[in-house]
Structure 1
Amino acid sequence: MNNTPLQLSLVASGMLTPLGESSAMTAASTLAGITAAQEYSLLNAQFKPFKLALVPDEALPPLQQELSHSAFLCQRQKRMLRLAHHALEQLKSSAQQANVALEGNTPLFLALPEKLYPYQQYLGNGFLSHLHLQTALAMDTSNSRLSAVGRAGGIHVLDLAIKYLQSGLGSQVLVGGVDSYLDPALLAQLDLEKRLSAEASMDGFVAGEGAAFALLQAHDGSGPGRIHPPGFGNEPGHRYSDQPYLGTGLDQAFKSAIANGSGLEKIHRIYSSMNGEGFHSKEYGVACTRSSAIFSDNVELHHPAEFYGDLGAASAVAMLCLDHQRRLKKEQGNTLIYASAELGARAAVCIS
């Protein structure tokens, strides 16, 4: 097995977000500054409407009958299956347009939500089986894997993709993420913690939903963008911890991703999973300050959750797809994408 760090190319993508039914539509909407946030009839504890960013029901494919009657799937999981189904159909279309064959033995590495509260179900390998049934996607289920670490999961699955391709087991891999906050119990818990955006809320996020998938191959020198091996860190003082919040986890992830960037001179764009909550600003400041030499003087900061809401476990792969759309339009420069989970996981990746 070759131990030289492998770089990846994104050759096709598919997305479904509150801003669009494809990667191109979502990218165009975010660049135009369009926001999907709306007030819905769901009320918080102060009887004020939640501000959410949701995919219209009519954009979702129907659930397979066998799954719709399953007692093992909650409503959130059923919606996630439908979100993922649409995004995978978009990826198939993108692959056809790029003249790339989606091989039947391609594994899927999928980012899923974290289990934060006792009442929540852990989404295990059964979710992959349900997704396979819903989509009829020909994939290598035996080598497919899940990463249930929320926002950071999309970068964790990039690491799995590199290791898989480096092993020589296959020539391409699917990575993706899917999530939805449209779950009354989850919204009620987040409201109890005063974390959601609503009238008179000064420090809340817009709960969103979506799915994003990318088809990756080993970089061969062609195509826009090289995805370098990612970097990881752990934040002991995360939101649900009693330990001091120092921002060291994201600092570790930045430094590791930059070191893996194979001689990057400067980074010109940052894509961030920040969602509007002030909590995330401290670690970003710490990480940027401690790696300031790598960032260009006019580095751009993009946090697309301000437009399509917090996509949770779909966040990192969505940002990967957005950066790819810019590269398809011949935009130059190096990018750093990072994502912070609710718990300790922190992850970053460089693209050149």
Structure 2
Amino acid sequence: MNTNHFQSLNEYVYNIQLAIQATAAATYIIKNDAVVNEWYSGRHDASEDSRPVNQKSQFNVGSIRKTYLGLAISLLVEQGLIKSIDEEIGDSLDEFTGLAKGITLRHLLTHTHGLIEQEGELSREFRAGENWAYRNPGINMLFELVSNLSGKSLSTFMRENVFEIYKLNETGWRTEFHADLIYNYYKDKDTWVGPNNSDAGDQSNLFVSARDLAMWGYIHLKKGRWKGKQLLPPSVFERVTSLATPKTVPLHLPRNGYIWWLQSDTPLNQLGERLPSGSYQILGITGCACLVIPEYDAVVVRMYNQLANTGEYDYLTDIRQFGNLANDLLKSFRFYCRT
């Protein structure tokens, strides 16, 4: 493992940690099937006697959890329980037959469904496939779909079909305190990550260690192959990282696979402009990110426990700079390894 080459990336992550007042941070990079950078900073919470962050520390990854839902949908396609993502959600969930008329799984997976929840009521913000908006009603529908079709909760389905197979033992929806969890923000009644009283996978309480999140990206990078064995079909992973956004969506709006953000030249894109075509990424509200760069055979992970928006911090500027810096270092690392 080489950490010196990526020291400037670690320093950048540390400076952002201070700027966003996160008590904990980490980076983890896999390249060419080897861990080339592993770095940890801070403590689990703000108290001086709090546990230092280490390789076992598990962060709440926020919306990164949605890519686990995306993979579950792809597995259901593989199993024949979903015929096509162009099926209307109302065909599978009767309660949405009227409201969600014309809304397909594709729309839900790519944030192009047009549904918005206001004061507990769902309504249409725009016609499906004509715009893009990051809203949770579509995610909730997909969660219910997985449960209905598989007969299991998302967390159980993923544990049995993915986590146990790939030994992701530091990944799970948590409801109770454990020393390995960076858990402090649940003490704040105004926390923005939401409730944590369900282990079904329907809440934003997925906790993952930096190395497990890197492995999550790695099994996507390798299309399901691990330690010389093809544990799940390549098509399961190819589906979720290929362009799924409807052609009717205007070109200036983001492009998504199954939840994953794909590299594209759009104003709202979260990937740095220097990252090569084919790269994909997911970012959570707590600051955690998983970036996969097939051209470099690399996965780059950063972890934070960001608690609130602070000062003049702009998350889009930050995540793009992070990606661009990772890009530059990985490009030079290829030359560095040959000399």
TM-score using structure 2 length: 0.29
Decide which structure has greater strand share: 1
Q: TM-score scaled to structure 1, two decimals?
A: 0.28
